[in-house]
Structure 1
Amino acid sequence: MKKILLPSALLLSVMSFAQIDFSSTRFGVSAGGNLSAVKNAHNPSGRRLTAQAGFLALIPVGSTNQFFLQPEIQYFGAGETGKDKDFKGKDGYDAVYANNYLSVPISFKAYFSEAESEFFGLIGPRFNFLIDQRTKNAPVSRPYYDPDVTLTSLPNVNGKANSFNFGIGFGVGYSYKRQLEIAARYDFGLSNTYPGLDYEPQGTTKNKSEQVLSVSLSYIFR
């Protein structure tokens, strides 16, 4: 609970003290690629390359043409694979742990100046709602990594992903005439993605946080 308070407090602070002009909101579309991983969940563990796509709103904050709130709704691919180079050819290397979300990032966006074409920074929380989980080629030695497998000897151990998770993200980008924009963003999970794997890999109780590095292209309508 404490972990969700930080990103929420950041957003509430901006909205409480800033002058938000909803009447001048602009809308746009975005698409891009994600490189994701999950800490402390599966063994072996490697990154997954997937995609994102969705819609955004750009809401002015203050009287200058420099600060904005940017809420989005996205299809957001994450999860991981077993492709650790040290495990090539071994049990679990070809595994895929795909988590796909309806994702709602809400960012505070600041352009470096009021110029039409300019760099910008982003920071804010991301809320993920699981819409699909697929696991392929789970290691034979750990069949419970598959969310559809329950072992009678380990009834409380399973690979089911949490239906909701959240984190905080930050990024930078460049805007061409405040219309065509490219951005790179890193999202760090603050919640437990796999609560049924609390003791996996064996001997650890560390949080299973999902992390995503993404690059996206946006088009904002005038």
Structure 2
Amino acid sequence: MIRTMIVDDDALVRLGLTDLLNADPDIDVVAQAADGLQAIEQAGAHHIDVALVDVRMPRMDGITATTRLRALPHPPKVITLTTFDLDEYIYNALAAGADGFLLKDTDPAEILRAIHLVFAGSAMLHPAAARRLIDRYHATTQPTAIAAQARIDRLTPRERDVLTRIANGDTNADIAARLSMQESTVKAHVSRILTTLDVTNRVQAALLARDAGLLP
């Protein structure tokens, strides 16, 4: 069962998302919060696997809340959910440690799919957000690419293989199957990769891999 928390200052949005998520037999909404401060409190009181966090909220916004949630001893995965498709929100959310970025007009089935993917260790971006990140990648300057490659060079060949699969959006199970490894071994590699690259999650590692030119 995937234990989730919904963080949004609009009570109707929380109600609608709760109904949607609870209709999935593998998802259980165990907490709700009206702002970032309440989200931190709720995360401390409940074991949260995945948090859906609105960006614009009073008292503490979703970007700050994401940073705080990811810094907890047992951090939940975070999917930021917003009405506004703005570059600033996309980049700041991912920099804060979010594993996904969706717009509130996302198809309900895709929201459920995002929760399952993020819980499994993958990432999920709204197509518009993904397009912006790709455009940003193509506009990457040479010095940035060199700096990214220098960080990638710290990895072992096997870790580079795993990182390439992460950048392709594979889950740990997918990587294990493709590289003929045990899933527990993949998890250990992923942990070392994040530590070596000094990033907080798979999305940031994937962006670094793209900057370094690991993907065509």
Shorter-chain TM-score range:
under 0.3
More helix per residue: 2
RCO higher in structure (CA 8 A, sep ≥6) = 1
Q: In terms of Rg, which structure is larger?
A: 1
Query: Structure 1 length normalisation: TM-score?
Result: 0.24
